[in-house]
Amino acid sequence: MNKLRYLILVFLLGVSTTAAAKVESYLVDEKSGLIMAPGWEVVNKQCNACHTSLIITQNKGNKAEWRETIQWMIDSQGLWDLSDTWEPVLDYLSTYYNQQEIDLTTFRRLPLAVEYQPPAAK
Ligand code: HEC
pLDDT tens digits, residue range 28-52?
999 999 999 999 999 999 999 999 9
Question: In which band, very low, low, confident or very high, does the pLDDT at 17 lie, cut at 50, 70 and 90?
Answer: low
Question: In which band, very low, low, confident or very high, does the pLDDT at 109 lie, cut at 50, 70 and 90?
Answer: confident
pLDDT for 117: 87
Please state, in angstroms and rounded to a whole number, the distance separating the CA atoms of residues 29 and 8: 38
Q: Where are the domains of the chain?
A: 27-109
CB distance 102 to ligand 1 below 6 Å: no
Please state, in angstroms and rounded to a whole number, the distance separating the CA atoms of residues 42 and 8: 42
Write the class of the CATH domain 27-109. Answer: mainly alpha
pLDDT, the chain, mean: 83
The type of residue at 27 is L
User: Is the model's pLDDT at 108 over the cut of 80?
Assistant: no
User: 17-36: b or e for each residue (b if 16 or more CB lie within 10 Å)?
Assistant: eeeeeeeeeeeeeeebbbbe
Rounded average pLDDT over 7-23 = 54
Atom of ligand 1 lying closest to residue 82 CA: 38
Rounded average pLDDT over 90-94 = 96
The residue contributing the CA closest to ligand 1 atom 40 is 47
Rounded average pLDDT over 6-29 = 62
Rg (CA), the chain: 19
Please state, in angstroms and rounded to a whole number, the distance separating the CA atoms of residues 73 and 6: 55
Task: Compute, in degrees rounded to 10, the torsion defined by CA atoms 102, 75, 51, 55.
Answer: -10
CB distance 34 to ligand 1 below 6 Å: no
CB distance 47 to ligand 1 below 6 Å: yes
CB distance 50 to ligand 1 below 6 Å: yes
Which residues are CB-contacts of 53 (< 8 A; sequence separation ≥ 6)? 32, 33, 34, 43, 44, 47
The type of residue at 101 is E
CB distance 79 to ligand 1 below 6 Å: yes
